Amino acid sequence: MDSLKAAIVERVGAHRADILDLARALVAIPTENPPGRAYLPCCDLLASQLGDLGIAHRVVDVPAAGRFDAGLPRRCLLASHGEGSRAVVFHGHYDVVPAQHAAQFQPRVERGRLVGRGSSDMKCGLAAMIYAVHVLQELDVPLRGRVELCLVPDEETGGQGGSAWLVQAGLLGTDAVAMLTPEPTSGVVWHANRGAVTVAITVRGVPAHVGLQHSGVNAFEGMLDAAAALRELKREVEARTTSFRLRPDEARRSILLLGGRVEGGTNFNVVPDRVTFTVDRRFNPEEDIDVEKARLFEVLDRVRERGVALDVDVIQESVSAGGSDCDPIALALADTALEVEGRRPDFEMCPGSLETRWYAQRGIPAFAYGPGLLEVSHGPDEYVELERVFQHASLYAMLAARVLADGGAR
């Protein structure tokens, strides 16, 4: 392994400028989601890069569907190197959350960092994965299986036009024995994640002039009833904690966020005829989506029975997942990190949702480990340390070589 490591690190070193060029070019394309802008130019860039590097790939158009697609085209890219019936999948998303200011799409290098929207989450990770595959190809590293790239949009809005569709089409994780995604994990590996059931609740009333309020029905007061019942549920679910590692300790509680968005009414002197508010239920890997969703709906049904007219719109739902930190792939990842970075990363639960779930659901060991920092991702000053990006390119190549070597993962 030592001579292979040296060769991989040398090759990645020779491609530092190329990796940075690709990362910069990706950051400069404003693939903001929502609504899902500039997906096609970004896919074109990725496809032409894969073509230039001689990595076999194909483009998959996603049919229009789902509440977030806004009539904009969705497209995925699948690439593959090597042959055989086992695959290590490098999976990543090329959409980014909307920028706080336009300059975020003018990437710049500053003190060894690439600054710009998506630098950390996760366009530098994509560049690192692509060059990891390229380096394996260049060095002609013997692999008992394939290394695949699965590049998708729409991750930031739940995956409808990306991974969810690939699952439906039977194109996600075929033959996969391991999956890795370069989410900004701040130096730890995420092997578990929360699930989500997010709803918007609209309480309906009847409008009336303030002087005739007896003839109206106040939607705001109805909302107070619903909110009080949900607050009871919040107390109940937030008493539960996950056994997965997550820092700080308070973060281990199950979550019910009440009123993330609230809107309603027309003026102070009119009885409000509708009030909408959101509930974001994020449950732990130990909790089941069907049970938690049913519990939430049961509480709302009881509010309805008390005479409050309300509609529930499900904005998103996704399952939780919990992997093992001692299966062979987890150990291979930790060993590889030790070799490349000189330390063994901790395994923790991701505080949010994670695309590893699409793979974990099918029993494929799936992990997130990227060069970026969660703390700066989605923020106005997003950046990534370039050294970490190059290190991760080596790490990904080494991991694939290790998992697909004769004799398995270790």
Return residues touching Zn ion (CB under 5 A).
Answer: 121-122, 183
Q: Residue 143 CB, nearest distance to Zn ion (Å)?
A: 27
Strand bridging mode 87-93 / 176-181: parallel
Smallest separation, CB 13 to Zn ion (Å):
27
Residue 157 or 320: which CB sits closer to Zn ion? 157
The alpha helices in 2-155, defined as continuous H runs, are 2-14, 16-27, 39-52, 124-138
Least distance from C-beta 159 to Zn ion, angstroms? Answer: 11
Give the pairing type, strands 108-110 and 113-115. Answer: antiparallel
Instruction: Report the distance separating Cα 149 and Cα 55, nearest Å.
Output: 10
The residue type found at 352 is G
Between 11 and 91, CB nearer to Zn ion: 91
Rounded to the nearest whole angstrom, what is the least distance from the CB of residue 207 to Zn ion in the complex? 43
Q: Which is nearer to Zn ion, 154 or 287 (CB)?
A: 154
Indicate the residue among 154 and 183 with the shorter CB distance to Zn ion. Answer: 183
Report, in Å, the least distance between residue 183 CB and Zn ion: 5
Residues 6+ apart with CB under 8 A from 112: 385, 386, 387
| Shortest-Cβ-distance residue relative to Zn ion | 121
**C-beta of 91: minimal distance to Zn ion in Å?**
11
> How far is 95 from 152, CA to CA, in rounded Å?
8
> How far is residue 173's CA from residue 359's CA, in Å, rounded to a whole number?
7
Strands 113-115 and 383-385 come out as: antiparallel
Residue whose CB is less far from Zn ion, 9 or 152: 152
Nearer to Zn ion, 183 or 348 (CB): 183
- Between CA 118 and CA 62 the distance in angstroms is 22
- What's the Cα-to-Cα distance from 228 to each of 231, 233, 281, rounded to whole Å? 5, 9, 16
